[in-house]
Copies of this chain bind each other. A is one copy, B any other.
Amino acid sequence: MRMGQGVEWTLHVLLAFAWLDDDEPVTVQQLAASHELPVAYLNKQLQALVRASILESLPGARGGFRLARRPEAITLMDVVVAIEGTQAAFRCTEIRQRGAGAAMPAASFAEPCAVHASMQRAELAWRRELAAQTIADLRADADRHAPAAGAALRRALGRTPQRTTT
């Protein structure tokens, strides 16, 4: 089982947006450069976030991406669903009804498959944990452990000039 790396990329991108803390759009080129990622492919992933109303895109010159909601209103669950899709990792194909089960009355399968239920229970715990954490929490954690990271990223994106020239 493997999660697409788009999740990692977009989470870092959203963390960057949380650090920027303004409404100025950022181009995908800047975002890609700030983490040395393939520009075009990152763009594709960000489109998924736009479709999920996590980011919004501004076309044209001086365009780019910016957050569509506040960081506190974006959960990790939202991001995972936006990138990986809504389907569960474990997919019950109802093999209990095939083979030996084929001879049983249809009413026997009214209750959900026990295997399915157990796996679903585990995934529910996973989802619950993801939904409990927001991008704002992520920023708070990062600031706590590496206070300089936010400033470094702002500098890489050309924000917060080190000195006002006049």
Residues of A within 8 A of B (CB): 1-5, 7-9, 11-12, 15, 33-37, 76, 80, 84-85, 87, 89-93, 95-96, 98-101, 103-104, 108-109, 111-112, 114-115, 117-119, 121-126, 128-130, 133, 137-138, 141-142, 145-146, 148-149, 152-153, 155-157
A46 to B: closest C-beta gap in Å: 15
Q: Which of A1, A4, A153 has the most CB of B within 10 A?
A: A1
Set of chain B residues within 8 Å of A153, measured between Cβ atoms: 100-101
Q: How far is the CA of A72 from the CA of B155 in the complex (A)?
A: 56
Chain B minimum-CB-distance residue to A107: B146
Q: Would you give the shortest CB distance from A128 to chain B, in whole angstroms? A: 7
A99 and B34 contacting across the interface, CB-CB below 8 Å = yes
Q: Is the CB of A114 within 8 A of B15?
A: yes
Evaluate contact between A12 and B148: CB separation under 8 angstroms.
no
The contact of A142 among B5, B95, B114, by CB within 8 Å, is: B114
Using known A-B contacts A122-B126, A125-B125, A148-B104, determine if residue A37 contacts B95 with beta carbons closer than 8 Å: yes
Q: Which 4 A-B pairs have the closest CB atoms?
A: A100-B156, A126-B126, A111-B145, A122-B129
| Contact residues in B for A114 (Cβ distance below 8 Å) | 15, 138, 141-142, 145
